[in-house]
Structure 1
Amino acid sequence: MIGEPNVDLAATYPSGDKQAAWKRVQGSADIGKVDLLKEVADCQACLCYAYTEIEVSEEADAVLCLGVDDGEKVWYNSSLVLDNFTQGALVLDRDKIPVHLKKGINTLLLKVYQNAMPWEFCVRILSPEGVPVSFTQKKP
């Protein structure tokens, strides 16, 4: 474990007989989907973390929309906002979490569980009216 919700992008962590390190991956442009079997590891009964920092120019209410195969824990600005260990296919926007974007940097940490078969997640940040929120990704 990484000492959640704290993140040190320069650190490595024990993973079986190896050391795991953070690596940058890019989600799809349309729904922000990341295929973890392709990007991280082809494994069963495992987990990984995903982290980002986004910057917004003004504070606003928003909805953090997630779809995950299989389960997840989500920290927004270091606060646990979702703990959902389920099994099943990714469903776009299955989990909707109201959040308040503060002006400046906001952090998002996901712990994504893998049971079997596909392993993926998608994240979108929408206004309460369902419009994509404009932001700048700062890290990683």
Structure 2
Amino acid sequence: MSLPEWAVGIRSALDNKMGLELIEVGPRRTRGRVPIEGNTQPFGLWHGGASCVVAETLASLSAYAEVGPQGRAFGVDINATHHRPGTSGWVHGEATALHIGGRLGSWEVVLTDDTGERICTARVTCALVRPRS
């Protein structure tokens, strides 16, 4: 596990509801996983909205890792393509930086099932509010 000190135990009410587990947090890459059970649509399949929540959470944590504890970061755009349904087990997410600039950063987030099959690909753009010197 590779979590910076500030990320150890960081939780939101939505993270708790979804059962998000962080594995690694950094500006260039952030990884986590979420159980499919409890995060499905009425027909028992992984919910596409859950994919968007996980994608934005992982990208936003990467953005926060970039600006540091005195900065702020938040999502301003998300695009998600749902490739296949998830039915059981876990959804694994990895946010990888595509570009980190002065005020904006973009991350590709790939969500896979336990077998490594891609469930969703998302692109998330975050505002980067760096601390004043």
Give yes or no for TM over 0.5: no
Which one has a larger percent helix, Structure 1 or Structure 2?
A: 2
Structure of higher RCO (CA pairs closer than 8 Å, 6+ residues apart): 1
